[in-house]
């Protein structure tokens, strides 16, 4: 690679906005800031939509809607309540789950979807080319089935505590403490990555 090209590459990848600058830029309707936002966050948001909907076309439509909502509703973002990424993820999750519910809200379907994901790190990932298969399969391998079901059905399928209790055949009153244990396990696995 010629010297100057390396240089350009480094300069480009080094260029970052802080969250405050992003929010300010979006509020000022700065389209360059918006493209930056898209380039940096679309894989994570698309990943959420894809995992929730299990359908590339629907996930693409959702992603478009999500970014237009971010552009239109940036004034509703309140940094007191959390980081920008948290806010954007919530929009993505809610939009995709709304779309999922309009398609089907059968519990069996949700379980079926998550069940399919058991083979995610063999088949699915090569199709969708997740940006971090290695880390993902490491984490998935080490979470036990109950922990994966709690985190994935709750976050990605919008299941209620009652539904989780039914699926896992555990008392409703223990869902919260088990969720805590699952998240603690996840934290330790992420630390080890």
Partner 1 sequence: MDVQRYISSGIIESYVVGLVSEQEAREVESAIAEYPEIREAVEACRQDMERYVELYAVSPPKDIRSRILDAIENESSPEGEELLPEELREPGEAAADRPARPAFKLTPLRVWQIVALLAVAGMLISILFNNRYAGQLEAQQVEYASLQANQAALKEEYQAAMAKLDDVTGELNVLKDPDIKWTRLYGTGKHAGQLATVGWNPESKEVYLRALSLPEPGPGQQYQLWALYRGKPVDAGVFEMGKQQHALQKMKPVTAVQVFIITLEKKGGSATPALDQLFVAGRP
Residues in the site for partner 1, rule: CB under 8 A? Answer: 31, 34-35, 38-39, 42-44, 46-48, 50-51, 56, 59-60, 63-65, 67-69, 71-72, 81-83, 85-86, 89, 93, 128-132, 135-136, 139, 150-151, 154-155, 158-161, 164, 171, 173-183, 186-187, 190
Q: Which is nearer to partner 1, 7 or 86 (CB)?
A: 86
d(CA 130, CA 112): 21
Q: What is d(CA 23, CA 174) in angstroms, rounded to the nearest whole number?
A: 39
Shortest distance (Å) from residue 100 CB to partner 1: 13
**Both tokens assigned to 99:** 């779309």
Task: Give per-residue burial for 54-68: e unless 16+ CB within 10 Å, then b.
Answer: beeebbebbbebbbe
Which residue lies nearer to partner 1 by CB, 4 or 177?
177
Nearer to partner 1, 7 or 27 (CB): 27
Least distance (Å) between residue 166 CB and partner 1: 14
The closest of 72, 149, 139 to 107, measured between CA atoms, is 149
- Please give the structure tokens belonging to residue 169: 């055949």
Please report how close the Cβ of residue 2 comes to partner 1 at its closest, in angstroms.
27
Decide if 34 contacts 26 (C-beta within 8 A): yes
């Amino acid at each position: 690679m010629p010297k100057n090209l390396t240089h350009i590459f480094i300069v480009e990848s080094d260029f970052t906005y802080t969250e405050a600058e992003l929010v300010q830029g979006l509020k000022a309707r700065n389209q360059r800031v918006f493209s930056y936002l898209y380039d940096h966050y679309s894989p994570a948001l698309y990943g959420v939509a894809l995992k929730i909907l299990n359908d590339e076309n629907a996930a693409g439509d959702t992603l478009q809607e999500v970014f237009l909502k971010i552009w239109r509703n940036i004034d509703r973002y309140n940094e007191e309540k959390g980081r920008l990424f948290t806010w954007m993820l919530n929009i993505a999750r809610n939009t995709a789950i709304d779309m999922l519910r309009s398609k089907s809200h059968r519990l069996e379907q949700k379980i079926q979807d998550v069940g399919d994901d058991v083979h995610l790190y063999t088949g699915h990932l090569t199709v969708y080319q997740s940006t971090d298969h290695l880390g993902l399969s490491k984490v998935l391998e080490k979470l036990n089935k109950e922990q994966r079901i709690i985190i994935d059905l709750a976050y990605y399928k919008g299941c209620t505590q009652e539904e989780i209790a039914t699926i896992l055949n555990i008392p409703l009153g223990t869902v919260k403490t088990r969720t805590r244990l699952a998240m603690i396990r996840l934290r330790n696995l992420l630390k080890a990555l």
